[in-house]
Amino acid sequence: MAIKKETTHQLINRNLTLYQREHSQVWQCRFKVDNKWIRATTKETKFDLAVTKAKELLVEAEIRKRSGIPVVTKRFKDIAQLAIDRMERDLKGGLGKVIYKDYIRIINQHFIPSLGQRLITNIDYDALQQYYTDREAKYGAVLSNSHRKTQNAAFNRVFDEAVVRGYLTDSNRPKLDGKTKETQRRPAFELHEVRALLKNLGPYIESSRTKDVRERREILRDYVEMLIDTGARPGTELLDMKWKQIRFMMNPISTVTDQLDEDGEAIEVHSLNRSCELTVKGKTGQRQIIGRLPSIRVLERIAQRNYGVKSSITDPLAELIKPTNDDYIFRTKEGRDVSDILNHMFDNFLADHGLLIDPKTNQKRVFYSLRHTYATLSLTHDNVPIHTLAKQMGTSVLMIEKHYSHLQVIQAIEQLRGTNTRRLIEVENKATDNYPSKRRTEIERQVA
């Protein structure tokens, strides 16, 4: 039978115990509330004072329980770490969502440094509003709707953990419903600006002074062209894609035109209708998207540049598109990842050609603007159903309607295909001359 230590005293049988830890003179207590043992410190070194304090803690805990208030509380950082641990376990076990990685990053980088020392019960609506105000002041920008919703969702993961562990109750936790500021129109490119963008990428590459610079600029062009063609999310969806995630497709079609040949017969135009299926992984998990002829040309260009592989028309990239090929697509010939400098390169290119700022929104254009451009051109010029567009972009019909309502999405439901957009982009138009390279123009002026 275990011998009770002299430093342990039962004050109320099976409900309140007073004890001292080894090498400590401070008295601790444990008591039972709602059949759960709770530990606390009396902060007293004298036994009689510790007895009184322990009884007060028990009574206070009972009152808090009856009032619907958490019996004990914790600092925000402790609960946040428990929430992170739970998400990491779910991810490791295959039960978690890809977005959990964003939640974990946000909690570590933003929440804990800002709110970590505060008690979880002291974080109310005012505290959360102050957090957002301080964050916007620190970074000099207002959070977009999508970013604020992601942050709210990360907050909810922490508050959910606090409720599960009894540190918060449903009645006193902040309710974050995702409502944010009014949606702002997103910066995109007009059709004539897309033509200028694509036309000027060639001279931009040719003006490279070194082999390394040229190779980086070629990767930038490949990346831009595939973003415009697929509407993929910028970042890992394309930049971490491997050759084994590609599937080539071909569906030959014939179209009878309204033109006649020498014999008076209607001229029939034949097309191999080449495309590819890309398996991408991103914010919403894994999905398949379709790359059309521009994407095929990008892949053929990379294959030629990095491997010396010349594709056949009917069976392109057969040497590379294999289940065992783990090579990344958007890499240099030596396999180097240059994704960390692509944003800076794109900024400089757009600024040099007068395309950096969207005149309609007065916002800076970024890679995401190419995704918005894809959606805008699809909605206004092509024939893909809106549900197909949502699936291609990895988003919901509701989100498309919300962000592109100015295009009257419902009325454009039969105009979302792709053929017309490609034809319009490829049309020669003198408007592209309105966006010359400022640097190249200055060099030409000096030479003259």
Label residue 211 by pLDDT band (50, 70, 90).
Answer: very high
**How much is the pLDDT for 208?**
94
The residue that leads in pLDDT, 344 or 386, is 344
**Cα of 441 vs its chain's centroid, Å:** 38
Which residues make beta-bridge pairs with 196? none
For 395-425, how does the pLDDT look when each residue is reduced to its tens digit (9 = 90+)? 888 777 777 766 654 444 445 445 667 677 7
Joined together, the tokens standing for residue 309 give 């592989």
List pLDDT tens digits, range 262-308.
777 777 766 778 899 999 988 778 899 999 999 999 999 999 999 99
Q: Which residues pair with 280 in a beta bridge?
A: 287
**Per-residue model confidence as pLDDT tens digits over 225-248:** 999 999 999 999 999 999 999 999
Closest CA to 394 of 305, 299, 288, 302: 288
Dig out the tokens for 147 from the structure.
Answer: 């970013």
Helices (H) and strands (E) in the chain, counts: 16, 11
The yes-or-no verdict on residue 68 having pLDDT over 70 is no
Coil/strand/helix, residue 361: coil
Please give the pLDDT value at position 210. Answer: 95
Task: Give the least confident one: 51-60, 217-226, 375-384, 428-437.
Answer: 428-437
For residues 371-384, average pLDDT: 84
Categorize the per-residue pLDDT at 428 as very low, low, confident or very high, splitting at 50, 70 and 90. low
Give 363's contacts (C-beta < 8 A, 6+ positions apart): 184, 186, 187, 357
Mean pLDDT of 57-65: 79
Contact 386, 400 (CB under 8 A): yes
**Mean pLDDT across the stretch 331-346?**
94
Q: Say which amino acid occupies 352.
A: D
Residue 429: pLDDT band (50, 70, 90) is low
Query: pLDDT band at 5, cuts 50/70/90?
Result: low
What is d(CA 350, CA 344) in angstroms, rounded to the nearest whole number?
Answer: 10
Task: Count other Cβ atoms within 10 Å, centred on residue 247.
Answer: 12
The answer on pLDDT for 203 being more than 80 is yes
**Are residues 45 and 34 in contact, defined by beta-carbon separation less than 8 angstroms?**
no
Q: Is 68 helix (H, G, I), strand (E, B) or coil?
A: coil
Q: In the prediction, which pLDDT does 178 show?
A: 52
**How crowded is residue 16: how many other Cβ atoms within 10 Å of its Cβ?**
18
State residue 437's pLDDT score: 79
Mean pLDDT over the full length of the chain:
83
- Which pLDDT score, from 0 to 100, does residue 407 have? 61
Greater model confidence, 177 or 102 = 102
Q: Which residues contact 60 (CB under 8 A, 6 or more apart)?
A: none
The pair of structure tokens assigned to 15 is 């409900």
Q: Residue 73 above 80 pLDDT? A: no
What confidence score (pLDDT) does residue 221 get?
Answer: 97
Return the percentage of the chain with pLDDT > 90, whole number: 36
Q: Check if the beta carbon of residue 159 is closer than 8 Å to that of residue 173.
A: yes
Least confident window among 159-163, 198-202, 384-388 = 384-388
CA 343/CA 366 separation, integer angstroms? 8
The SS3 assignment for 288 reads: strand
CB 389 within 8 A of CB 401: no
The length of the chain in residues reads 448
The mean pLDDT value for 302-320 works out to 85
Q: What is the pLDDT of residue 37?
A: 79
What does the pLDDT read at residue 262? 74
3-state secondary structure (DSSP) of residue 178: coil
Residue 180 has pLDDT above 60, yes or no: no
d(CA 448, CA 443) in angstroms, rounded, equals: 9
> What is the number of other CB atoms lying within 10 angstroms of the CB of residue 373?
24
pLDDT band with cut points at 50, 70 and 90 for residue 122: confident
For residue 334 the two structure tokens come to 């030596």
pLDDT of residue 418: 58
Tell me what pLDDT residue 121 has: 77
Show the tokens assigned to 17: 């115990």
Q: What is the pLDDT of residue 384?
A: 65
Distance CA(304)–CA(296), nearest Å, equals 12
Q: Please tell me the predicted confidence (pLDDT) of residue 12.
A: 83
Q: How many CB atoms lie under 10 A from the CB of residue 403?
A: 20
Residue type, 260: L
pLDDT at residue 447 above 70?
A: no
Residue type, 79: I
CA distances from 58 to 26, 30, 83, 304 (A): 18, 9, 28, 76
Q: How confident is the model at residue 317 (pLDDT cuts 50, 70, 90)?
A: confident
Q: Which strands, in side-by-side order, build the sheet including 274-282?
A: 246-250, 274-282, 285-291
